Amino acid sequence: MAPGNSVSGPSRQLVFSGCRELYRPSAMDATEFRNFGKAAVDYIADYLENLRDRPVLPSVEPGYLQELIPKVAPQEPEKWQDVLADMERVIMPGVTHWHSPHFHAYYPTANSYPGIVGEMLSAGIGCIGFSWITSPACTELEVAMMDWLGKLIQLPQEFLNCSDGPGGGVIQGSASESTLVGLLAAKQRTVRRVQVLHPEWDEATIKGKLVAYSSDQSNSSIEKAGLLGSMPMRLLPTDDKCRLRGTTLEQAIKSDQEKGLIPCYVVATLGTTGTCAFDCLEELGPICNKEDVWLHVDAAYAGSAFICPEFRHLMAGVNYADSYTFNPHKWMLVNFDCSAMWLKDSQYLVDAFSVDRIYLKHRHQDRAPDYRHWQIPLGRRFRSIKLWMVLRLYGVEGLQQHIRRQVGLAKEFETLLRGDSRFEIVTETSMGLVCFRLKGPDTLTKKLHDRLMARKNIYIIAATFKDKHILRFAVCSRMTESRDIQFAWEEIRGQAEQILLGNDADDDILVHNCKTYSRLKYNMIRNDCPSNGLKINGTANGQA
Amino acid sequence: MAPGNSVSGPSRQLVFSGCRELYRPSAMDATEFRNFGKAAVDYIADYLENLRDRPVLPSVEPGYLQELIPKVAPQEPEKWQDVLADMERVIMPGVTHWHSPHFHAYYPTANSYPGIVGEMLSAGIGCIGFSWITSPACTELEVAMMDWLGKLIQLPQEFLNCSDGPGGGVIQGSASESTLVGLLAAKQRTVRRVQVLHPEWDEATIKGKLVAYSSDQSNSSIEKAGLLGSMPMRLLPTDDKCRLRGTTLEQAIKSDQEKGLIPCYVVATLGTTGTCAFDCLEELGPICNKEDVWLHVDAAYAGSAFICPEFRHLMAGVNYADSYTFNPHKWMLVNFDCSAMWLKDSQYLVDAFSVDRIYLKHRHQDRAPDYRHWQIPLGRRFRSIKLWMVLRLYGVEGLQQHIRRQVGLAKEFETLLRGDSRFEIVTETSMGLVCFRLKGPDTLTKKLHDRLMARKNIYIIAATFKDKHILRFAVCSRMTESRDIQFAWEEIRGQAEQILLGNDADDDILVHNCKTYSRLKYNMIRNDCPSNGLKINGTANGQA
């Protein structure tokens, strides 16, 4: 390409005027972006403000989208107006609306206006802050925000970046990643320790003996971290309140030690996924410290509540932990991904991860945390901007208000359930989560869930508690209000009534289209229909 | 909280009018968001359009940001206007401008207007698509986009989602993650195979024997994947063109087999980080296939070029690969993060990762890929939207034009270098990368780099090639034009001239502020100054 043939920037018309080979502008310019971006802002605001009007669950069958778009990418650029219009035509029919006031499944995932603008600004700057020099602001704002956040939940001083010790905080992509990172640091520390005790063992021998522990109520990502990190993860039984107790851990550790194995890593959960139970940190902590086992605390969901003093007693024992995680991207209004992780001693992590090549060196590297050694990927987005936006634009009081409000709405739902003797609440209502079932055999609760899922007016999911089928009702959306709690209750109560009255005739709406889905190939296709008791007659429910 | 005390949504004035406990709106509402969001769009457009006017490198010292913001989060919400203004006051002084036309370090990271709007829309919807039901559109658009992309680079059919086999594509967060995911799948496949051959060995024994291979030119993330995945990663020597050759791999495999070890995983690089060299896939492939070793191909940067037919010969041999990765977030204008990964057989991955709990179940799970089993985290953002935006709003032709234009600009820089006999080009110019040095001892090139870094007019980084200090000049920003190449050349040539003329007197500008940085504590603080030959006199360069 000859000098002068530049094609970007606002001046391209000038540059190209008179060029022999005429330039056809294929890229969006800044003026178009201003229009497109502002239209997208309006689209997002309209979408979120009117979410209550959309069914929370989509009515599409697998493969729906492939019918709506071409099989190959377009040769020529399209108009942004057409692409934006396709958000409604192609995407929205297949969206499960996580921010609908009627979404009560899993746990909340955060979405807020300040969080969205944070994402925008982060994308606009588009730096990859894997070391200090690759954008000092990216590292330093993260250092500062992790301290703001750590102070807000009154984490012990030694976890903070501003402390004198080797501790500090970092933003990870997810709690899964935090758990895995904790495991790898734990492995590093234990191998080092055991090498001193047993110089005759090589590293592979030691690693082959390491064991990790969590409870049978911990998130599936904990088990996955064990798989990924090649460390057996024992899922220990919990007490009648779904809590992991000290004696259970103590016995498991002892039993493994007797087999010649080396306990290395414990993941305690504050707010389990199933029932939002809190492991007994004050029992587990001293055992871990005594046995030199790394204690990681996963407070992914419930951790946000600790910004309110009245919930902070639930994190008692955090002083025993070696690492601590909670996800502002769950319940603290910071858009996914933003998993906050603190370590008391980051050196084990840095040792486990450090791989230095000359092209990563820069002159400040000894004076700032190179966060690439604190995480699995090399690249990292400027995620602290959204944390900064949310903390400043809500303020501590606004965030506390959000937590308290959602806890209040869960209490409201609990009160409605308690007023109907056909239902039972199976665990204490905890934070924004209520676990319940229909009294009687599991089939009733299963039927109720199937009906709710087929009707798509609210989205709740099932779990097991003491071998019983239960339903989890979580207050998720920041837009959920009292009227939505009433709406959900009416939906649940009404469907339960139909089932209890034996009105199974209209279960035709629950039909499940099980014809082999052959247009698209998925690696897990099976031609059989999951035998979940639903009637089968080949058509999807009425909304399809 | 009493029913009726809802605080969100557009109707809150109504809801609260007359309430005894007056609600102080703490959260940003939709109207404010429209204003804030649109102001942010303008800010981003202004920032990107005027990037040429900012120094590409910041002039701050570690800790600069902590002086500019409070030590704790604010209690009350602030105004969005103040927060947006702080982007200039607090953030911008510490930003390394990756999209400046004068950024020639590392490799490009993508940033485009369609990509930014893709990020916005993804944040607005804010779904967590870890399984089909959690947003069918999220899974299905990804399935479709990975096919669009795979077809665009003419990847063998068996890698595509639309093929009949167990292959398919997925978006990972980074090439680091793709490499690790490939390693874990390879481990799974090898353990299964060896268990059949040696039923007397337990899994830990087999895992302890596994070995991986890559070249000494591969990205640091490859070595890190070995560390994370507990598999020794042999960094094999390359030929005089920095390519890993078949005979080298063959010998390494044989040598390990003789020691009783089990070769498991090979990472071949198309476009190395140092010099953009291409490993000899056609030699490595047959060896891997014969030895049943998983071949992963990392084309993180250069892979985007394969959308142009004229570069596709460089991926010959990809048919031997088990997995293949390139990063549209590097050179294909899709904002970070978007690392495209394809596998010929995804089942090993799914087996390695599957951990199913009842709360993740849904009725469609046998008929769509549950991408959570294809990646390390559980949660995942709707990343395919930005790929969709970029492919449609640039069109294939627009993207090809972008690649060809940047390759042309690299050629232009090469021509300038070739016209000056004081410089030597050390490796063949490859894609958008030119590697060069000043003829003579390494100290000259090092001095040149130090001066360029201190002056901050352009950003280039150093590397080693055959034990010699070299400089890497990469065409990175989509906004780089011919005039920027001329500018960079003038800067490099001018500084080289000063050094060669022995004008070291003005090296005072290179001073390095080495006073102990004690306001902030970092875990890697050392009080000494890196001994890099720079003069020290206690003040930072003139721009500080």
DSSP string, A107-132: S-----HHHHHHHHHHHHH----SSG
A126: left (phi over 0), alpha (psi -120 to 50) or beta: left
**pLDDT exceeds cutoff 60 at A268:** yes
Q: Per-residue pLDDT averaged across A473-485, rounded?
A: 97
Write down the pLDDT at residue B370. Answer: 81
Answer whether B62 sits within 8 Å of A132, measured CB to CB: yes
- Best of B393, B411, B466 to disrupt the A interface (most A CBs within 10 Å) is B393
Write down the pLDDT at residue B466. Answer: 83
- Residue B254 counted as domain residue: yes
Write down the pLDDT at residue A535. Answer: 22
**pLDDT exceeds cutoff 90 at A369:** no
**pLDDT exceeds cutoff 50 at A12:** no
Q: How far is B150 from chain A (nearest CA, A)?
A: 10
**pLDDT exceeds cutoff 60 at A227:** yes
Answer whether A397 sits within 8 Å of B75, measured CB to CB: yes
- Residue A257 counted as domain residue: yes
Residue B494 half-sphere exposure toward CB, CA atoms < 13 A = 11
Q: How far is A427 from chain B (nearest CA, A)?
A: 16
Confidence of residue A467 (pLDDT cuts 50, 70, 90): confident
Chain A environment of B5 (Cβ under 8 Å): 405, 408, 482
* Below-70 pLDDT ranges, chain B: 1-26, 355-367, 504-544
Backbone angles phi, psi at B472, to 5 degrees: -105, 125
- Residue B169 counted as domain residue: yes
Q: Per-residue pLDDT averaged across A228-253, rounded?
A: 95
Chain A environment of B353 (Cβ under 8 Å): 224, 227-228
Q: What is the ipTM of this complex?
A: 0.88
Write down the pLDDT at residue A513. Answer: 33
Q: How far is B117 from chain A (nearest CA, A)?
A: 6
A315: left (phi over 0), alpha (psi -120 to 50) or beta: alpha
- Best of A481, A490, A527 to disrupt the B interface (most B CBs within 10 Å) is A481
Q: How far is A52 from chain B (nearest CA, A)?
A: 10
Closest partner residue to A207 among B123, B180, B230, by Cβ? Answer: B230
Write down the pLDDT at residue B502. Answer: 86
Write down the pLDDT at residue A379. Answer: 82
- Residue B222 counted as domain residue: yes
Confidence of residue A355 (pLDDT cuts 50, 70, 90): low
- Residue B295 counted as domain residue: yes
Query: Which of A456-460, A500-504, B390-394 is least confident?
Result: A500-504
The residue of chain B nearest to residue A351, with distances taken between CA atoms, is B227
**pLDDT exceeds cutoff 90 at A331:** yes
Write down the pLDDT at residue B194. Answer: 96
Write down the pLDDT at residue A23. Answer: 42
- Residue A505 counted as domain residue: no
Write down the pLDDT at residue B367. Answer: 55
**Per-residue model confidence as pLDDT tens digits over A168-222:** 999 999 999 999 999 999 999 999 999 999 999 988 889 989 999 999 999 989 9
Written as one letter, the residue type at B482 is: S
**Domain interval for residue B254:** 156-355
Write down the pLDDT at residue B108. Answer: 96
- CATH number reported for the structural domain that contains residue B226 in this entry: 3.40.640.10
Query: Which of A90-94, A491-495, B362-366 is least confident?
Result: B362-366
Q: What is the DSSP string of B204-268?
A: HHHHTTEEEEEETTS-HHHHHHHHHTT--EEEE---TTS---HHHHHHHHHHHHHTT-EEEEEEE
Closest partner residue to B116 among A123, A376, A523, by Cβ? Answer: A123
Write down the pLDDT at residue A133. Answer: 86
Write down the pLDDT at residue A505. Answer: 52
pLDDT above 90 covers a percentage of chain A that reads 75
B437: left (phi over 0), alpha (psi -120 to 50) or beta: beta
**pLDDT exceeds cutoff 50 at A476:** yes
Answer whether B521 sits within 8 Å of A162, measured CB to CB: yes
**pLDDT exceeds cutoff 70 at A424:** yes
d(CA A374, CA A354): 9
In this structure, the number of other CB atoms found within 10 A of the CB of residue A12 comes to 16
Chain A environment of B300 (Cβ under 8 Å): none
**pLDDT exceeds cutoff 90 at A533:** no
The helix/strand count (H/E) of chain B reads as 15, 11
Q: Which two tokens stand for residue A540?
A: 């999807």
- Residue B503 counted as domain residue: no
Confidence of residue A504 (pLDDT cuts 50, 70, 90): low
Per the structure, the count of domains in chain B is 1
Instruction: Kindly give, in sequence order, each residue whose CB lies less than 8 Å from that of residue B111, ignoring residues fewer than 6 positions away.
Output: A123, A124, A126, B48, B98, B99, B333, B335, B478
Q: Per-residue pLDDT averaged across A132-140, rounded?
A: 92
Write down the pLDDT at residue B238. Answer: 95
d(CA B125, CA B253): 49
A100: left (phi over 0), alpha (psi -120 to 50) or beta: beta
Answer whether B94 sits within 8 Å of A137, measured CB to CB: yes
Query: Please, is A40 exposed, middle or buried when counting C-beta atoms within 10 Å of its C-beta (0-12, 13-18, 19+)?
Result: buried
Closest partner residue to A41 among B41, B174, B352, by Cβ? Answer: B41
Answer whether A124 sits within 8 Å of B47, measured CB to CB: yes
Q: How far is A51 from chain B (nearest CA, A)?
A: 10
- Residue B79 counted as domain residue: no
**pLDDT exceeds cutoff 50 at A237:** yes
d(CA A249, CA A253): 6
3-state helix, strand and coil shares in percent for chain A, rounded to the nearest 5: 45, 10, 40
Query: Which of A14-28, A135-149, B346-360 is least confident?
Result: A14-28
Write down the pLDDT at residue B22. Answer: 40
- Output A429 or B363, whichever has higher pLDDT: A429
Q: How far is B412 from chain A (nearest CA, A)?
A: 7
